[in-house]
Amino acid sequence: MFINKAFIYGNITKDPELKALPSGSNVCNFSIATNRIWTGKDGKKAEEAQFHNIVCFGKTAENVHQYMRKGSSIFVEGRIQTRSWEAKDGSKRYITEIVAEQVQFGPKKVDRTNDNGQDDVGYRSTTQESEIQAEDLPF
C-alpha cells in the first residue's frame, strides 16, 4: 500500500486567490509558512521557515477565500502533487503543491469588532471535498 498524505499547520503568507474553472467550480490558491526550531550542536537555537503551496476546490475554496487572510492560522490535510507546464518562453516549469482535502481554520485574533460592536470571536470550519475530475483543472 502506498500513502500520499500531508498535514500542515501554519500561517497564510498572502490573501488567498479565488478563480473559476471552465466547469464553473472554484479553485483557490494560497501558501502557508511553517517553521522548525532546533538546538544545534553549539547549543544555540536555530529556526528555519518553509513555504508550502496549497490548492483547494469547490466549497472549501470559497470558504478559504471568504474567511482567511494573510496571517490567518490554518490546518490543511491533503495530498502532495507535482504538476508541470510549458511557460511562454518555451521552458518546462514545475510546481509541487498540497491539494487540500480537508481544512480547519485556526483561531482569529480578537482585535476587531463586528457590526454589532462585539468582539469577533472567529470562525472554525471543517470541510471535505469530493474527488476532483481532471477535466476541471485549468492546466
Determine the 3-state secondary structure of 105 from DSSP. strand
Q: Which distant-in-sequence residues (6+ apart) come within 8 Å of 29 by Cβ? A: 16, 17, 19, 53, 54, 55
Report pLDDT digits (tens) over 3-16: 999 999 999 999 99
**Cα 21–Cα 25–Cα 26 angle in degrees, nearest 5:** 80
Whether the model pTM is above 0.85: no
pLDDT-derived band at 134 (thresholds 50, 70, 90) equals low
| Over residues 44-64, mean pLDDT | 95
Determine the 3-state secondary structure of 63 from DSSP. helix
Q: In the chain, what are the domains?
A: 6-129 (2.40.50.140)
